[in-house]
Amino acid sequence: MNAVPCEQNSGVAGAERNEHAVVIGGGIVGTCCALYLQREGYSVTLVDPAAPGDSTVKWSCGQFAISEVIPLSKPGILAKVPGWLIDQTGPLALRPGALPHILPWFLRFVASARHSRIVDIAQALAILTRDVYADYAPLIEACGKPLVVERPIIELFDSAAAIQRDRTNLALREALGFKIESLSASDIGDLEPAFGGRFAHGLLFPDWRFVSDTEYFIATLTESFISNGGRRIRSGAARIDESNGRATGVTLENGERIGAEHVVVAAGIGSRKFFAQLGVNVPLEGVAGYQALLADPGVEIRHSVIYADGGFCFTPMTRGLQIGGTIEFAGRDARPNFARAEIILGKAKRILPQLRTERCEFGVGYRPLLPDTKPVIDRCRRLQNVFMALGHGQLGLTLGATTGRLIGEMVAGRVPKQDISAFSAYRFG
């Protein structure tokens, strides 16, 4: 039997349960699930073919977007689809070849655009995002390293009318208890001199934060997991083994089998391969989010700054300035279109002409998105000792620790403090 690369340590995280759990997926959600299972006293193996930190979240804005609870689907969304097909340079694009396959998904997506549905979705997500910092705190503290930049997020607009168009959704966020402050031209210049004189309209999100580096963040959490006795195996999972209505472990792609009393599926869009076996009909699609990383940008930016009308953001990280966020419905197995990253970079240079782009790296992350924008956090009905944590879309980093805590509670047989029925895997029929 072929060996697979793995990292392990003999430390102990908590009270021993003498039970083993396997987590499929080593991105931010899977890593947080593994860490919280450790805190519950389980022996845990994390399975992922990629290196720690090399995940979807690596190519993201790195924000704890706790009030980003408004779904992507909004009133009038259907009328915008032709524009997405025609204009491949906009903040959201749809490849024409992807339309036939993705049409059923889009019909469900549009069905979530009614105001009543938007309110329901926002209220459900807010139940989770209110606990983000409390749930991350013990995980970050255990790392013993500074991982989070304690500064709020700024959003910039080309005009006051652009803010007014989103007033209904901003009011909904405030009604749910999230903070929003208006910024004048002088406020913007004081907070971020690089944008001074270029924007006169903005918002400040005082309760958002961002990580110092998306790749380093997950890699450091993984190091903490390993130092506490966890094992991380660099391999894909081929199947979940089962007997008499229960999972008995996981078989890796090379044929090696790992026995387990509990299995967690948290592999992002890679979770789809297990849906038939689990007996769930989850309409999960991967939405491409493109980023450009400038190792030597030549511009000092202190906050993570969203350019709302451009549909992308600037986030300063220890490895450089990351610029991106535009998304593309490309279809399954489609090759990345890095021309979209070049478009982002061109738009960024129009805002900040002094940007140095010589040392530039492009990247793409495939956000696992469900048509109602809510994730799945649930127990499998067919195999009762299998749990699902997937479909977080653009909130993977934000909800990683909260999802991990909820999965840990469910595996341990406790009822979570939140009502998570809205995140059922069976809500799609």
Asked if residue 275 belongs to a domain, the reply is yes
User: Does 220 lie in the same domain as 191?
Assistant: no
Q: What pLDDT, on a 0 to 100 scale, did the predictor assign at position 329?
A: 86
Q: Mark 240-265 as b/e (b = at least 16 C-beta within 10 Å).
A: bbbeeeebbbbebeeeeebebbbbbb
Query: In angstroms, how far is CA 1 from the centroid of its own chain?
Result: 35
Q: What CATH number corresponds to the domain at position 22?
A: 3.50.50.60
User: Does 277 lie in the same domain as 220?
Assistant: yes
Distance (Å, rounded) from C-alpha 167 to C-alpha 17?
50
For 3-50, what is each residue's pLDDT tens digit? 334 444 433 344 678 999 999 999 999 999 999 999 999 999 999 999
User: Does 222 lie in the same domain as 276?
Assistant: yes
Asked if residue 144 belongs to a domain, the reply is no
Higher local confidence (pLDDT), 349 or 82: 349
Q: Retrieve residue 230's tokens.
A: 């966890």
Asked if residue 244 belongs to a domain, the reply is yes
User: Does 168 lie in the same domain as 53?
Assistant: no
Domain end, chosen from 195, 228, 262, is at 195
Asked if residue 128 belongs to a domain, the reply is no
Asked if residue 265 belongs to a domain, the reply is yes
Q: How many folded domains does the chain comprise? A: 2
Q: What pLDDT, on a 0 to 100 scale, did the predictor assign at position 78?
A: 61
| Residue 31: domain span | 6-57+216-282+375-423
Cβ-proximal residues to 12 (8 Å cutoff; 6+ apart), any chain: 228, 229
For 313-357, what is each residue's pLDDT tens digit? 999 999 999 999 878 888 888 899 898 899 999 999 999 999 999
User: Does 175 lie in the same domain as 53?
Assistant: no
Asked if residue 318 belongs to a domain, the reply is no
Amino acid letter, 398 = T
Percent of the chain exceeding pLDDT 70 equals 94
Listed in sequence order, the DSSP H helices in 257-395 are: 275-278, 339-351
User: Does 411 lie in the same domain as 381?
Assistant: yes
User: Does 381 lie in the same domain as 250?
Assistant: yes
Percent of the chain exceeding pLDDT 90 equals 80
Counting beta carbons within 10 angstroms of the beta carbon of residue 389, is it exposed (0 to 12), middle (13 to 18) or buried (19 or more)?
Answer: buried
Asked if residue 317 belongs to a domain, the reply is no
User: Does 383 lie in the same domain as 276?
Assistant: yes
Distance (Å, rounded) from C-alpha 19 to C-alpha 289?
38
Q: What pLDDT, on a 0 to 100 scale, did the predictor assign at position 7?
A: 46
User: Does 278 lie in the same domain as 385?
Assistant: yes
List the Cα angle 322/328/333 in 5-degree steps.
Answer: 105
Q: What pLDDT, on a 0 to 100 scale, did the predictor assign at position 84?
A: 66
Q: Which residue has the tokens 């195996």?
A: 233
The mean pLDDT value of the chain amounts to: 92
Distance (Å, rounded) from C-alpha 390 to C-alpha 176?
24
Q: What is the mean pLDDT of residues 200-229?
A: 98
Cβ-proximal residues to 276 (8 Å cutoff; 6+ apart), any chain: none
Angle between helices 28-39 and 132-143 (to 10 degrees): 80
- Is pLDDT of 125 > 60? yes
- Is pLDDT of 367 > 80? yes
Inter-residue contact 365 to 330 (CB < 8 Å): no
**Closest-CA residue to 245 (of 43, 382, 91, 51):** 382
Q: What is the mean pLDDT of residues 170-175?
A: 96
Q: What pLDDT, on a 0 to 100 scale, did the predictor assign at position 74?
A: 74
For 384-404, what is each residue's pLDDT tens digit? 999 999 999 999 999 999 999
User: Does 382 lie in the same domain as 238?
Assistant: yes
Lowest-confidence range among 45-49, 156-160, 176-180, 333-337?
A: 333-337
Q: Retrieve residue 75's tokens.
A: 């009133």
Asked if residue 229 belongs to a domain, the reply is yes
Distance (Å, rounded) from C-alpha 249 to C-alpha 242?
7
Q: What pLDDT, on a 0 to 100 scale, did the predictor assign at position 17?
A: 80
Distance (Å, rounded) from C-alpha 377 to C-alpha 128?
11
Lowest-confidence range among 12-21, 69-78, 102-111?
A: 12-21
Q: What pLDDT, on a 0 to 100 scale, did the predictor assign at position 76?
A: 64
Higher local confidence (pLDDT), 265 or 4: 265
DSSP-based three-state secondary structure for 340:
helix
User: Does 277 lie in the same domain as 221?
Assistant: yes
Q: What pLDDT, on a 0 to 100 scale, did the predictor assign at position 5?
A: 45
User: Does 269 lie in the same domain as 238?
Assistant: yes
Residues in a beta bridge with 285: 369
Q: What pLDDT, on a 0 to 100 scale, did the predictor assign at position 15?
A: 60
